[in-house]
Structure 1
């Protein structure tokens, strides 16, 4: 679905109303939505201003993640949430690091933030599985999924994953859950070093 169509639906705005705000004919809006014409670049700043949504979303086919991001912006406009505090969360991506994540006074905003993080993880996992061309890698993905499904509440599982993340330098050394974890990792690294070919 084209972003403009989704945004109009989410905001409950008719084509005619948007056309009046932009000073154009309703037919232009219809042509944009049917992808028979591109949205004029000169109208993008006005669209951003009307909806409080970044211009990049109006002209593209939206992913589920895009839709969640747009819903979050609408919720912020509707609820005017206040940031109550910040929590540190580990961010995996270009630069693995801890980031300050806002915690809002409105559960709806916190829930959609959680849904966005889940959608990002699902997308990343899907991309990784699609890149796995050989059977051994797929078998590893299957095993990881089984571990997550059956052992996600086991302390040993979490300690081992964090240890592997440090050993393989996915996590920076300064990120640790405490002295007990550091001791566990020290012993784990000895075993890993003995079997590292």
Structure 2
């Protein structure tokens, strides 16, 4: 499917009344954040805003305390309930005189979430949210799918996806051997957890 078709589909959703939430799910390295950002730019900031699930990563200090730092990116290294609560707040139709909602982002240079980074103004009619676990049905994550008006699942060629992941880890400071080890051990383990979620998507993009 061409980008123009995806843009039109998102634009139609945005025009369907109230505030809508489009979720883009998929395994690590699938291109979720790239697509979400491109859609938001194409639709314009007054109409659409991209809000990543990654803003709900637990802080590194908390991961260390919990003994989960070596599994960063696994389902239990996020505040899933907090993410669902934000989606509920964003989904509520803004009332007259309503103010903006602020969402957290994830700074890849710091490897930390940063609160209050993304402004969702009251006039925004489409929130584009993306992340690995939007269609993951275990635990607190099961709250997320019912809050999405539409869900897309990205399923690119695995060899391309893994290469992108390794390159991304290298850009953010790992040497290539360490990046390859992390992808093989951690990212690909998470990819296997995410894969069944495609059955709950309205659209699968391969």
TM-score interval w.r.t. the shorter chain?
Answer: under 0.3
Q: Scaled by the length of structure 2, what TM-score is found?
A: 0.21
CA radius of gyration, larger in: 1
Higher relative contact order (CA 8 A, sep 6+): 2
